[in-house]
A and B are shown apart, each in its own frame.
Chain A
């Protein structure tokens, strides 16, 4: 029993609380009516201090009572410990207290559950659909909601299947049904901040501006409704869901190895980081040991992906700030990383190269040289870019002092990764909760002090240098040996064995067609992605398909925090702000 579990045991909760030892971290099972009290205790008691709400999600146990399970993942930035809080709700009118008074970041997470599961959160300030269109019928992530889609057309069923018809001219355009916000109602709900009494009068300077979902500055299909006072931003309302892909629902229909391909397409700028987080969660449930060579290779690949991702970020940021030439420099550097991914897997982006058990194939010939080719010129190239940008007074004036985020706000809104470090929070999962042998390498955490756009830019630039440092160490010390686990129930047998052993052929066939069985349970694994904490929560029922997968994407929390950073700034600052927090809509909407 860990000290944390002991502390939970010893605590007098004043309510029935069951403590379970899960495979990853302790789990508290509470009654729905005690949730708010226990949440406050978990956050405010210095013994626990779970100040950061990582994620809220739900699982639908159809045909079982109680039907709904709501899962809270909490993190303590002080002690780097995690805890999971579970509670169960009945099938009829599932409803539980909102935890927005304790963790403001719960707002969107609860709205998402209301939208996709139909769970009601009492006391939520603005319980509306978040992902699906406003007038959508049904809750897609419930198990009795069909996956939908269209039957695949083959030559034998031509003419027999019904083609999906999109009445595009009848579909609701969200922008059209946008209603003027009711200020009185908004004020009481606290949704758009507190508006002083004098400001609720009619003001000719007041303007509501719709930005997105198609806008070159929103980096994807993000829609912001800006409430302006002249040029000053009074408030921002982000709307998401324009790229909702149903990835989580689709994953429930795929075997574990097949579902891996979906993870590439969630946050599509950091594919390998997604692969790793998913594989770590599955490996955790399986209790699989990963050979050292695979761990080191995973570190190298993840850091290379971070470089590629930051290059897209810098390209987009500089493009938005009007520095078109930096865009070309960045994409040229990114191509070098893509060459390595291409060499490893034959694909430029969606590699699925990191698999459950290790890597899909051993690192190819010429991998070392290719990585060396990146390591040598990259620092100079970063310096070149910095010189190009930092010597430009427009660059400095647009980034410095704009889009500020204080460390307290960052924690309250679950901001992680580079934006949190730019606000001065010394926290990186690679340091605080090392995974995949990150503790074998030396690197520093670049920190900012102001939490403004410029700090976020600086932190990411320095991070690239640290990534290069990690890659260099891992490449020098890359051990030989197996590149994947030798558990034949999970990983494919080596190619040469297929010619000799019938058993190997059977295993190969079974794993390729059916996947493998994963013991029942739940696991959450997170990596430090280029944008922040990127986690996968997997709930297994013992079958060969995940019963429920939840992708905890950092951009989701960051998009929610846009209003906090944008209030009081100018319209032009919003462009810089979106670019520096680097949201990827594929991850936000999933």
Chain B
């Protein structure tokens, strides 16, 4: 009985990801393009961007994250309701990218449990959609969100 119920829950979770309206840098513009009519993320059920972390379950870290911003991002993440997922969009969010310097956190996985990394500078909207689809696959398979895995903080 539980297995089909799990399936139904996973289906519901993956089909209605609500991202947080949080744009950090350049990637945010491509994230907006993804919402636009040409790419239309609504086809995959993830178009409901929420202004408050309390109503969102997906954080797309779209762009470089500075040392000054890192605590703010972490606080936003902590405020999100579980289960929650994180996509690191672009090379800066994934590993610091071009900006290997004093100001930028070298990958947001240093302070956030990241589920999916999307490479690119910036990733095209198709790439981000691909990342969201990958996340949906993970959810459908029932693999736990990154923050539940042992190795991540």
Contact = CB atoms under 8 A, between A and B. Distances in A.
Contacts of B124: 348
B36 A214 contact: no
A328 interface: yes
Nearest to A319: B32
A348 B51 contact: no
Interface in A321-347: 327-328, 331-332, 334-335, 338
Contacts of B21: 216
Given A149-B101, A242-B72, A334-B33, 13 more contacts: A133-B68, A166-B105, A216-B21, A216-B51, A221-B69, A245-B99, A246-B101, A327-B36, A332-B36, A332-B38, A335-B36, A348-B122, A349-B29
Contacts of A242: 66, 68-69, 72
Contacts of B101: 147-149, 245-246, 249-250
B64 interface: yes
Interface string B91-127: 0000010111111111000110000000001101000
Main secondary structure of the interface of B (DSSP, over half): loop
B33 A331 contact: yes
Interface residues of A, number: 55
A338 B126 CA distance: 14
Nearest to B53: A214
A132 B67 CA distance: 9
Contacts of A246: 99, 101-104
Nearest to B64: A245
- Interface centre among B23, B74, B98, by most chain A C-beta atoms within 10 angstroms, is B98
A570 interface: no
B32 A331 contact: yes
A338 B67 CA distance: 31
A245 B103 contact: yes
Ranked 3 nearest A-B pairs via Cβ: A148-B102, A331-B36, A149-B100
B111 A166 contact: yes
A530 interface: no
A164 interface: yes
A71 B74 CA distance: 38
Given A243-B66, A245-B64, A164 B110 contact: yes
Q: Interface extent on B, as a size class?
A: 35 or more
Interface string B55-77: 00000000110111111101110
Contacts of A348: 30, 122, 124
Interface string B68-88: 111110111000000000000
A140 interface: yes
A328 to B, nearest CB: 5
A268 B28 CA distance: 10
A312 B110 CA distance: 32
Contacts of A476: none
A269 B26 CA distance: 8
Given A148-B101, A149-B96, A350 B67 contact: no
Nearest to A589: B66
B72 A268 contact: no
A146 B111 contact: no
B63 to A, nearest CB: 8
A469 to B, nearest CB: 26
15 contacts: A146-B102, A147-B102, A150-B106, A164-B110, A168-B74, A213-B69, A241-B68, A242-B66, A250-B99, A262-B98, A269-B29, A331-B37, A332-B36, A334-B33, A335-B36
A328 B36 contact: yes
A261 interface: yes
Contacts of B48: none
A132 B68 contact: yes
B96 A150 contact: yes
A348 B32 CA distance: 14
